Structure formats: C-alpha cells, structure tokens
Amino acid sequence: MTRLASSLDRLGTETAFEVLARAKALEAQGRQVIHLEIGEPDFATPGHIVEAGMRALRDGHTHYCPAPGLPELREVCAEHLSRTRGISVEPSSVLVAPGAKPFLYFGVLATCEAGDEVIYPNPGFPIYESVIRYAGATPVPLPITEDRGFAFSAADLAERLTPRTRMVILNSPANPTGGILDPQLTAEIAAVLQGHDCWILTDEVYSEMLYDAAHASVAAHGLLERTILLDGFSKTFAMTGWRLGYAALPRPLIEPITRLIINSVSCTAPAVQLAGVAALTGPRVEVDAMLRQFRIRRDAVVAGLNAIPGITCVIPRGAFYVFPNITGTGLSARDLADRLLEEAGVAVLAGTAFGAHGEGYLRLSYANSLENIEQALAAIEGLLSGVAVA
C-alpha cells in the first residue's frame, strides 16, 4: 500500500520559502512585490570567489571528493574558527557540508531521540524546532524577548535545564530578531552549561554580521569538547546558492556525522569548496562594503518603522533583519503579514513563522536596496493608515 511515513507529520518547514512562492505567484499575475521576506544578501558573490570556483571547474574539480571535505578547506576553516573564536580547532575536527543547515539536521539526528529535551530559541530559525521534533525529541522553547534586548538571561536557561536536556541550541547574532548574546551574557550562559552535561549547538552563521559589538562564542569557554560550532559562507560572502557550510565538531561526532553525509549527499561539490578557500583567505573589500550598506539600510528601516503609528522597532545588533513590534496595529502577525503581501505588495514574514513567541512581531529582511526599502515603508504606512490603529 502506498502511504507516507507518519514521521513526516513532525517535520516542519521554513515559511520564508512559502511566502516567496506566494509572492512569485502574485508577480506572475503582473503584481509588483517588494521582497523583504527571504534571508539572503542581495549582493553578488565577490568576484575573486566566483573566479576561484570557475577555475576549479575548468581545472577538472568535477568529481566526487572526500565526504568530510577537502583537506585545504578544512584547514582554512579550522584556522578561521581558531582565530576568530580564540580557540584551538584542528582541521580534523572540521567537517564541510552543502550549507550550514545540514549540520543542524545531522547534529540533532546524531544526538537526540525520544525522551530527550532540546532547549532552543523561540522565536528562532524554524529548522531548530522542526528537526528536534523529527528526531522524536521534545522541543523546549527558550523565549527570546524584546524586554531582554532580544536575548534571554542565564537564569532563563538554567530554569529549563533538566536531567533530560540532551542539547541546548544557541544562535547569535540571531535570526529573526537581530539580537545577540554579548560577551558578558555568553560567559554567564557558558557558566550555566558547565554544570550540565549536554551537547551544545551554537549556530554562528551571522558571526561576521555585527554592528558595534564583538562576536562571542560559548565554545570559547572550555565547552568545545561537547559543542557543535557551525558557520557558513551563505551570509558573510553572499553565497547562499553555492551551498557551503562547515562545523567544528566534538571528536565522538566526527565519524557519525561523516556517515550521515555519506548516506545523504556523499560530499560537497569540490569546486564550491575551492571557492570557499578563496573566500576565507582572500580580500575582504566587498564583504566590508556589504556590511557598510547593511548598516545604512538597518538605520533607515528602523527609523522608517518607528515613524509608522502602531509599530515600534528596536535597533538590531547583528544579522540583516529587523523584528518590529506590531501589537499597536491591533492585528495579529499573520494577518498583517498576509495583508501586506496581498494589499500592499510587501512580502514580510510573521513573527510566528519563527515560533509561538514571535506573535506581535514581523520579520523584515533589509537585504534589499534602500530605494525598495523606502517604497516598502511607504506601502506599509499606507496600508496601516487604513487600519484603525489601537
């Protein structure tokens, strides 16, 4: 009998891709849509990285390669993580995959099962909750609240730890809020985790997208031997479509996660990996210019949102998202997001796309031109002026 596996009922999705599809359908009908929904830099991948990828293809790097990753990429990733996090990572502890995302999936699948609890940020990247459920484990949300600067306190974490806590997932800078765990808070979180024997997964894909703050990693506090530290090329180098990410893994996880890679994707395209070597070792001029643009846009979008009755928006400290509070509009996050898309032609995500604790918020990605951002702000204001603001 043909039927689907019931485990699929536990597998969630990423609403950004659904909203993108709805927006594209509207565009196909001739409607204009400004895209503030999808989490990818709108800049081109820097030229020297593209060149390195093309050179690698021309040089014949077009076949299978070692499942854990090319030695030269593992080496520069280890060097990069060691230098930027102030830790000592061996190349043999680094694995490479098509994106950082597989490490969330494989990391949870390799360590968690029914009966285990996993603490994760909520609102947070939707894949966390999805994968925890898929593994059969119990998701334990850690509320990320505006009154704590879109972070949480070490006490908030401590009170959720139980003997069943198998893993704690951290994400800084954070999607969807742009909040960060600053060095002081990171040290406090690490102190709490020192006293609890569980895995830690720290998702640091926005580690280089910080405004006025230094990146802090919990891995730097003596927790490396049970921490999965993941980073990637998608955000920093505007390489979302190349699919390239890496992680430093605790020794006991290297072989099982390599096995998961072999069972699923075999390996990561070698030419893409060589482009990654060029990214981590090459000039930073374009990356720096991109960050300067993001800062200008962030300031414009925050000022514009705060000028709209019913909306307030704190200044995010990292990533390229704003997470405005829309409770003053009297609308739910989902209703407002739907109406913005259908009536104002602005694609955004409801805060609830990132978990129940996202109610009352929208997520806007400012990875779009200043001109489009200004147009979107005017359209949001236009729509809300027709709504009775509480």
The C-alpha atoms of residue 328 and residue 104 are separated, in whole angstroms, by 35
Tell whether residue 245 is a contact of ligand PLP (CB under 6 A).
yes
Q: Which span (45-53, 96-104, 162-170, 183-191) binds ligand PLP, by CB under 6 A?
A: 96-104
Please say which residue, 121 or 345, places its beta carbon nearer to ligand PLP. Answer: 121
Of 205, 220, 333, 340, which one interacts with ligand PLP (CB under 6 A)? 205
Tell whether residue 111 is a contact of ligand PLP (CB under 6 A).
no
CB of 203 vs ligand PLP, minimal distance in Å: 5
283, amino acid identity: P
DSSP assignment of 121-188 equals EES--HHHHHHHHHTTPEEEEEE-BGGGTSB--HHHHHTT--TTEEEEEEESS-TTT-----HHHHHH
Of 15, 37, 39, 165, which one interacts with ligand PLP (CB under 6 A)? 39
The C-alpha atoms of residue 326 and residue 333 are separated, in whole angstroms, by 7
Tell whether residue 175 is a contact of ligand PLP (CB under 6 A).
yes
Please say which residue, 240 or 268, places its beta carbon nearer to ligand PLP. Answer: 240
CB of 350 vs ligand PLP, minimal distance in Å: 16
What tokens were used for 88? Answer: 């000592």
Q: Which span (232-240, 271-279, 310-318, 378-386) binds ligand PLP, by CB under 6 A?
A: 232-240
The C-alpha atoms of residue 198 and residue 120 are separated, in whole angstroms, by 13
Residues 305-324 that bind ligand PLP (CB under 6 A): none
Please say which residue, 175 or 352, places its beta carbon nearer to ligand PLP. Answer: 175
Q: Determine what percent of the chain falls in helix, strand and coil, rounding each to the nearest 5.
A: 45, 15, 40
Please say which residue, 310 or 318, places its beta carbon nearer to ligand PLP. Answer: 318
Q: Which residues contact 218 (CB under 8 A, 6 or more apart)?
A: 170, 181, 186, 189, 190, 193, 200, 202, 227
Place of tokens 């990654």: 276
Tell whether residue 41 is a contact of ligand PLP (CB under 6 A).
no
Tell whether residue 232 is a contact of ligand PLP (CB under 6 A).
yes
The C-alpha atoms of residue 216 and residue 80 are separated, in whole angstroms, by 14
CB of 175 vs ligand PLP, minimal distance in Å: 4
Of 37, 188, 203, 208, which one interacts with ligand PLP (CB under 6 A)? 203
Tell me which residue has its CB nearest to ligand PLP. 99
The C-alpha atoms of residue 258 and residue 110 are separated, in whole angstroms, by 11
Tell whether residue 180 is a contact of ligand PLP (CB under 6 A).
no
The C-alpha atoms of residue 118 and residue 113 are separated, in whole angstroms, by 10
Q: Assess contact for 131 and 115: CB atoms under 8 A.
A: no
What tokens were used for 271? Answer: 């030419």
CB of 143 vs ligand PLP, minimal distance in Å: 17
- Overall residue count recorded for the chain in this entry: 390
Q: Assess contact for 339 and 331: CB atoms under 8 A.
A: yes
Judged by CB under 6 A, how many residues of this single chain contact ligand PLP? 13
Tell whether residue 240 is a contact of ligand PLP (CB under 6 A).
yes
Residues 53-92 that bind ligand PLP (CB under 6 A): none
Of 53, 91, 99, 360, which one interacts with ligand PLP (CB under 6 A)? 99
Of 100, 253, 314, 322, which one interacts with ligand PLP (CB under 6 A)? 100
Q: Which span (97-105, 262-270, 309-317, 375-383) binds ligand PLP, by CB under 6 A?
A: 97-105
Tell whether residue 171 is a contact of ligand PLP (CB under 6 A).
yes
Tell whether residue 258 is a contact of ligand PLP (CB under 6 A).
no
Give the count of alpha carbons within 13 A of 39, CB side only: 25
Q: Assess contact for 203 and 169: CB atoms under 8 A.
A: yes
Chain contacts with ligand PLP (rule: CB under 6 A): 39, 99-101, 125, 171, 175, 203, 205, 232, 234, 240, 245
